[in-house]
Amino acid sequence: MRVSVAGVVDAAAERAGTPHAARRFISPLRLAGLALCLALGACQTDGSGMANSGGGGAVAFDSIDGPPQATFEKLVGQLNSEAETRRVAVASRSSGAAYRVKGYLAMHVQKGTATVAYAWDVYDRNQNRVARLSGEEPAGRVKGKVADGWAACDDKVLARIADKSMASLAETLGVGGTAPAPVATATASAPAAQDEKPATAEPAIRPDPAGVPVAALETSGTVLGYAAN
Delineate the domains of the chain, giving CATH numbers in brackets: 5-173 (3.30.160)
Q: Which of 173, 176, 179 is nearest to 201 (CA)?
A: 179
pLDDT of 54 = 40
pLDDT of 178 = 58
pLDDT of 26 = 53
d(CA 130, CA 118): 17
Which are the contacts of 91, defined by CB distance < 8 A and separation ≥ 6?
A: 31, 35, 56, 57, 58, 59, 60, 97
pLDDT of 75 = 97
Tell me which residues of the chain have a pLDDT lower than 50. 1-21, 28-57, 181-190, 192, 196-229
pLDDT of 67 = 96
pLDDT of 47 = 31
pLDDT of 161 = 98
pLDDT of 175 = 81
pLDDT of 70 = 95
pLDDT of 174 = 87
Which are the contacts of 58, defined by CB distance < 8 A and separation ≥ 6?
A: 41, 43, 52, 88, 89, 90, 91, 97, 98, 99, 173, 175, 176
pTM of the model: 0.59
pLDDT of 96 = 82
The per-residue pLDDT for range 90-143, each reduced to its tens digit, is: 988 888 889 999 999 999 999 999 999 999 999 998 999 999 999 999 999 998
pLDDT of 133 = 96
